[in-house]
Amino acid sequence: MFRLIFFVLLILVLYYLLHYLIKDMPFSKMKVKGKHEPEELVQDPYCQTYIPKQFALKKKVERQVLYFCSEKCMESYVRKEPKNSA
């Protein structure tokens, strides 16, 4: 009896394992699918660089949500420092 239960459990585990592996087969698709849209780009208002939204630093400025590529840009923008583009 115990062997039978063990065998059934083994089959179940194998089934779920296989199911899990098949589900995750298209790895590229897995990367695209997520909570966020990774391809969505936002522009840094300070240095004008486009950055993926998920990596951008979010900052609410005057009821507007702005995205920055780095803390440096964020601080400089908030302080309204001129961009030192030589």
Tell me which H or E stretch contains 63.
none
Note whether 51 binds Zn ion by CB under 5 A.
Answer: no
Phi and psi at residue 37, to the nearest 5°: -95, 105
Q: Given the complex with Zn ion, which of 38 and 49 has the nearer CB atom?
A: 49
Per the document, the length of the chain is 86
Decide if residue 44 touches Zn ion (CB under 5 A).
Answer: yes
Reading the block at residue 71, the tokens are: 């803390």
By CB under 5 A, residue 73 contacts Zn ion: yes
The strand pair at 57-61 and 41-43 is best described as unpaired
Cβ nearer to Zn ion, comparing 24 with 71: 71
* Binds Zn ion by CB under 5 A, chosen from 42, 67, 69, 77: 69
Q: Which residue from 38, 47, 57, 76 is in contact with Zn ion, where contact means CB under 5 A? A: 47
Query: What residues does 65 pair with on adjacent strands?
Result: 60
Interaction site with Zn ion (CB under 5 A) = 44, 47, 49, 69, 73
